[in-house]
Amino acid sequence: MTIFTDRACNALRTQDRVEEPVRPAVLNPPSPHHDCSRQIELFHAQVSAALDSGDVNKLSGLYHWMEDTPNSANILMDELQVISSRRLVDVEVESIELDGEEQPTRLWLDQYVPERPGQTIRTDFKLVMNGGCWWLKR
């Protein structure tokens, strides 16, 4: 609370406000070079980092927006905001065998439900490879 007065602080049983140190506007400037995840392990780590930081912008940067309309994109951003606000328990990649190779197909998020302590919720995304990069898709 801020009080403006001509009286001394000790007369009001308060103290002068301590000025916080000046901090730079940007602590960690974003890299000018964004590289997509070409390996599923790196993609897994990026999804985990986005959720651990609670950063919806990082999470949305991993989403494949190609076929979304403006209306569906707004709805999805609201959903991603809710997802990014939950505390992460685990990220799991599901694969199927295709032509003798494991092919990642889904990504599962296990997160705590803030309204129900101790309970978790599971959210799934499709995994899409486009342009040599991995992306999330609903």
80-121 pLDDT, tens digit per residue, is 999 999 999 999 999 999 999 999 999 999 999 988 988 999
Kindly provide the b/e burial profile for residues 13-52, where b requires at least 16 CB atoms within 10 angstroms of the residue's own CB: eeeeeeeeeeeeeeeeeeeeeeeebeebeebbebbeebbe
Q: Which fold has domain 36-137?
A: Nuclear Transport Factor 2; Chain: A, (3.10.450)
Instruction: Give the integer Cα–Cα distance in Å for 74 and 84.
Output: 15
Closest CA to 109 of 85, 127, 128, 88: 88
Taking the whole predicted model, whether its pTM rises above 0.85 is answered as no
